[in-house]
Structure 1
Amino acid sequence: MTLDDIDKITTKDDFACFVEKLRDHLQQSPEEWENVTLESFLEAMEAWVRDIDGYIANSGDKDAVNPSWRTFAKVLQAASIYE
C-alpha cells in the first residue's frame, strides 16, 4: 500500500498500513508536510473536519458523507495512550 492507495482502504489492516506509510512519509520528507508537529497536525485535522461539508460539495466524495466519526475518535484517543 502507498499513500496513493487511499481509495483502496477497506479494512483495519489497510488503515493501519496507510498510517504506517503516512508516518514514513513524514519521517522521510518532512519538507512536503505543512504540519510537522502534533499540535499543528491536530489543529489542521480539526479545521478540516469542521469544513468537511465544503470538501464533500467540491469533491463529490460520497465516502465522506457518512463516516464513523466515533471510530476515528477512538483511534485518536487510543493513539494518545497506546505504547
Structure 2
Amino acid sequence: MELYKSIDSITSREDLARFISLLRIDLQNNKAQWENHTLERYLEAIEAWVIDMNGYYQNREEPMPEQPSWKTVADVLYASSMYE
C-alpha cells in the first residue's frame, strides 16, 4: 500500500474524505493485501489499534496526540487495515 505516503498531508476534513475514498478503492482492488478485509475484523482492529496507539507514536519518536487531528483519524484507519 502506498496510501501511507498521503497521510502526512492530511490537514482538513476534505483531505480525510479523499483519503477514505482512496482507502476504500484500495480495499476493492487489493483485498488480499488487507489483514482486516471484513467490517467486523476492521472494526476490531480499529478498537485494538486505538488502545495500543501510544506504541505507534513511540516507535515513530513522535508524541501521542493529546487532541486527535484529521491526520490522526487517517493514521487509525490506515493502520487498522493491517493491524493484527
Shorter-chain TM-score range: 0.7 to 0.9
TM-score by length of 2: 0.71
Unaligned runs of 5+ in 1: 73-83
The alignment's C-alpha RMSD in Å is 1.9
TM-score by length of 1: 0.72
Percentage of identical aligned residues: 43
What CA distance in whole angstroms lies between the structure 2 residues aligned with 1:18 and 1:67? Answer: 20
Q: Does 1:68 align with 2:55?
A: no
Q: How does 1:1-80 map to 2 (within 5 A)?
A: 3=3, 4-62=5-63, 64-68=64-68
Number of equivalenced pairs: 68
* Equivalent residue letter for 1:56: Y
Larger RCO: 1 or 2 (CA < 8 Å, sep 6+): 2
Unaligned runs of 5+ in 2: 74-84
Higher helix share: 1
